[in-house]
A and B are shown apart, each in its own frame.
Chain A
Amino acid sequence: MRTIEDIERDIDAPICAPPGEEAARLLAFGEEIMALWLKAHGQEPTLETSEGFRLLALHRQGARGDPGFNACRETCRELAYHFNLLHEPGEWTKAPQQLETMRSIARHLALFIGGKLENAKMGEFCCAAKPLRLNSEAN
């Protein structure tokens, strides 16, 4: 199984395919990152899609019971959004810029999930507001 570092290296690899294919490759990296997290937590990554994207279904699967995943929800959605942009022929003139943007989004997902694999509480302190002490003694 590839590691997050392997995927990060591939994300940063030079563009060598037509924009649509390159966009699909970057989206697939996003799915692979999410699948890594799920497998590391004993779950079988879903093959289903949400709003047409497996990435969003994988995010939803990871977020179940883990509100810290809120922190990468928009990152996943941005990746899907830019994939769509790169499948609009009219947008191809902007393809190098769009691909660079998509690369930075995929890299961010890798960094966030990589960080969360080391420290599962990432995203829980802030975005999710999940209490560490669930049975509050203040009650």
Chain B
Amino acid sequence: MTLQDPKLKKIAYYPGCALEGTGHAYNRSTKALGGALGLELDEVKNWNCCGAMEVKNVDPKVQTYLSSRVMSIAANEMGHNVVMAPCNGCYHNLKKAEYDLTNDQGSRDVVERISSKAGHKTYQPGQVETIHALDWVKRAIGEEDLAKRVKNSLKGVKVANYYGCMYTRPRHIFPEKDKGAGTESTSKPHFMDDLLAAAGAENVDFALKTACCGGAHTLSDSDTSTKLVVNIIKAAEASGAEVIATECPTCHSGLEMHQIRAEKKFGYKSKAKIVYFTQLLGMALGLSGRAVGLHENVSDSIGFLKARGLG
């Protein structure tokens, strides 16, 4: 099959630190999905931390530099013009760096200075386009072709799609969104809904798809985070969802951990399964549960999905 956007046949892949740790299942399933779709991921050589939340909040310009280094390697040392970051935090930070470098001379000066000290070419805004894993599948394959490739339909699986915060906020760093038909919406994102529906899933009407989960406060103020996550899970279940699909390792592990903590701390037990969208799509394309890392999730969805003929 031909690709919708041939530019995406082989792109730079920036997994980021979470995908080497708690989000390993996301790393595994993203690569497996790419393989099943005939898309190549070229991992950024010697990549570094994007600056995450910690560096960004201490010194945003140093975060801009860290993210720019990843983009510089992809562009100047590997010859890519697209970088795909499946983690919302990495995706957000690369986008923020792009915005800052385009609009702020102070950021450009700092990045120039540190890049020169570090001995690599300074990233110039516009050298690469940063995309999320959702953009990657949606733009490279599209719903129509994806539906044709489905071997095990997700039919009957009721899914609430949870996008979290950093995929759409703050809006000004995502200039390509909210541009009308075919583009992503920052207020009601739908790319994950579109892709899973193409694979046969039944998406439920879920009002808290970008609601705060208190993720950044998960250690300093765990009870607030647990209560926010419980409300997200409750809302998903009240909408009829059996599965909460995720597209961010922080959201995913936050939902899984607080689901367990909620039972221990507040006696709230929920049945919702927390599964990465890449795992669901991979299984729809015929991959095994192991190939997409179901066994690496904390939330045990193996039996549930097996009963649906998946994995």
Q: Which A residues are closer than 8 A to B by beta carbons?
A: 67, 70-72, 74-75, 77-78, 82, 97, 100-102, 104-105, 107-108, 111-112, 114-115, 118-119, 122-133, 136-139
- Residue on A with the closest CB to B237? A104
| Interface set, chain B 154-168, CB cutoff 8 A to A | 165-166
A111 to B223, CA, bound (A): 10
User: A75 to B213, alpha carbons, bound, how many Å?
Assistant: 12
Q: What is the chain B residue whose CB lies nearest that of A122?
A: B217
Interface contact B59-A138, CB-CB below 8 Å: yes
Q: Chain A residues with Cβ under 8 A from B56's Cβ?
A: 129, 131
What chain A residues lie within 8 Å of B197 (beta carbons)? none
Q: Which residues in chain B, 83-102, are within 8 Å of chain A measured between CB atoms?
A: 89, 92, 96
Whether the pair B169, A139 counts as a contact (CB closer than 8 A) is no
Q: Are A131 and B60 in contact (CB under 8 A)?
A: yes
Q: In the bound complex, what is the Cα–Cα distance between A125 and B234 (angstroms)?
A: 25
- Partner of B207 from the list A104, A123, A133 (CB cut-off 8 Å) is A104
- B208 contacts A104, CB within 8 Å? yes
A77 to B211, CA, bound (A): 11
Interface of B toward A, CB cutoff 8 Å = 53, 56-62, 89, 92, 96, 106, 109-110, 165-166, 169-170, 187, 205, 207-208, 210-212, 214-217, 220-221, 224, 227-228, 231-232, 234-235, 238-239
What residue of chain A has the Cβ atom nearest to residue B225's Cβ? A115
Q: How far is the CA of A111 from the CA of B224 in the complex (A)?
A: 7
Which of B96, B205, B232, B235 lies at the interface centre, i.e. has the most chain A CB atoms within 10 A of its CB? B235
Bound: A32/B220 CA distance, A? 27
List chain B residues, Cβ under 8 A from A125: 53, 57, 216-217
Given contacts A104-B234, A115-B224, whether A126 and B106 have CB atoms under 8 Å apart is no
Q: Cβ of B57 and Cβ of A132 under 8 Å apart?
A: yes
The 3 closest A-B pairs by CB, nearest first: A125-B216, A104-B235, A115-B224
Determine if A118 and B224 form an interchain contact, defined as CB atoms under 8 angstroms apart: yes
Q: Which of B57, B221, B232 contacts A119 (CB 8 A)?
A: B221
CA distance A12 to B127 in the complex (A): 51
Among B57, B106, B211, B227, point to the contact of A75 (Cβ < 8 A). Answer: B211
Q: List 14 A-B contacts (CB under 8 A).
A: A71-B165, A71-B169, A100-B238, A108-B211, A111-B224, A112-B228, A115-B217, A122-B221, A127-B166, A127-B212, A129-B92, A130-B57, A131-B56, A138-B59
Q: A104-B208, A127-B212 are known contacts. Are A139 and B60 too (CB-CB below 8 A)?
A: no
Q: Closest A-chain residue to B170, C-beta based? A: A70
Q: Which residues on B sit within 8 Å (CB–CB) of A115?
A: 214, 217, 221, 224, 227-228
Can you name the residue of chain B whose Cβ is closest to the Cβ of A109?
Answer: B211
**Which A residues are in CB contact (< 8 Å) with B170?**
67, 70, 127-129
Q: How far is the CA of A10 from the CA of B119 in the complex (A)?
A: 60
A contact residues around B169 at 8 Å (CB): 70-71, 126-128
A98 to B150 CA separation, bound complex (whole angstroms): 33
Inter-chain contact B166/A124, CB cutoff 8 Å: no
Chain A residues in 8 Å Cβ range of B106: 139
